[in-house]
Amino acid sequence: MAIKGHNIRIFGIENCENVRSAICWLKENNITYEFFNLKLNKIDDHVFRHWLKLIDISKIINKRSKTWRNLAKKEKIMLENPVSAVDTVTKFPLILKRPILQINDQEIIIGFSIDSYSKKFRKQK
């Protein structure tokens, strides 16, 4: 099902199991989307700033990632503040939890679960 009037983008990396599951679910439910590969493309700072208006920074930073473990203490501290986090995230986009599903520039869903996607897209039918 194409969600009429909706622009759906999924941000992640192709080899991430959660991203693959989310993409599979979208395809199985005939939901049109655009994939943004965080490994190959830098995220625009204005996109990340917009996300921070929609969700708290602590919900979007993956502190269990290898990228997090390899950051300098100064960079980790910068990620605690939404203003200074923008530069760090644009330099190290793999610090973000994945997938990030952006719907119409008005909502984002972090991670993947069949339940959360089903609830969201059931409302849109």
Model pLDDT for residues 36-91, shown as the tens digit of each residue: 999 999 899 999 999 999 999 999 999 999 999 999 999 999 999 988 999 999 99
The closest alpha carbon to 84, from 51, 45, 50, 54, belongs to 45
* 8-124 carries CATH number 3.40.30.10: yes
Looking at residue 123, what is its pLDDT?
A: 58
Burial of 89 (0-12, 13-18, 19+ CB in 10 A): buried
Look at residue 2 in the predicted model and tell me its pLDDT: 43
Answer with the residue of higher pLDDT: 125 or 60.
60
Domain residue ranges of the chain, discontinuous segments joined by +: 8-124
